[in-house]
Amino acid sequence: MGRYIHNEWLKLRYNRVVLAFAGVGIAFSVFAAACVRLEEVTVYDYAWLASTEFMKRVGGIVSILMVGIAAGIFSMDFKQHTVHNALSCGVSRSEIFISKVCVYYSFGFIVQLISLVFYTVLVGLLVGWASPYYHYPHLVETMIVFHMGEAVIVFFYMSCFLFLGMIFRNPGALIFAGICAFYFDTMNGFSVGNAKPYWSPMYLIQIMRYYLRNKLVLSAEFVTLFIPCLVIGCLFLFIAYLIFQKRDID
Exposure string over 146-178, b if 16+ CB within 10 A, otherwise e: bbebbebbbbbbbbbbbbbbbebbebeebbebb
- Give the model's pLDDT for residue 193: 42
User: At 86, is the secondary structure helix, strand, or coil?
Assistant: helix
Question: In this structure, what are the phi and psi dihedrals at residue 190, rounded to the nearest 5 degrees?
Answer: -140, 150
98-147 pLDDT, tens digit each: 888 898 899 889 888 898 888 888 888 887 787 777 788 888 898 899 99
Alpha helices by DSSP H, listed for the chain, are: 2-12, 16-34, 47-50, 54, 60-64, 66-70, 76-80, 82-88, 93-127, 139-167, 171-187, 201-213, 220-224, 227-246
Residue pair 98/192 in contact by the 8 Å Cβ criterion: no
Question: In this structure, what are the phi and psi dihedrals at residue 206, rounded to the nearest 5 degrees?
Answer: -65, -40
Amino acid at 3: R
Does pLDDT of 250 surpass 60? no
More confident residue, 141 or 18: 141
Q: Which of 232, 97, 65, 72 is nearest to 152 (CA)?
A: 232
Q: Which of 79, 82, 67 is nearest to 17 (CA)?
A: 67
Residues 47-52 have a mean pLDDT of 79
Neighbours of 248 (CB within 10 A): 6
Count of alpha carbons within 13 angstroms of residue 77, beta-carbon side: 23
Amino acid at 227: I
Provide the Cα torsion 189, 192, 197, 198; round to 10°. Answer: -20
Residue pair 28/61 in contact by the 8 Å Cβ criterion: yes
Amino acid at 167: I
217-249 pLDDT, tens digit each: 899 889 888 888 899 999 999 999 998 888 766
CA distance 10 to 245: 24
Does pLDDT of 199 surpass 80? no
Q: Which of 30, 28, 44, 29 is nearest to 128 (CA)?
A: 44
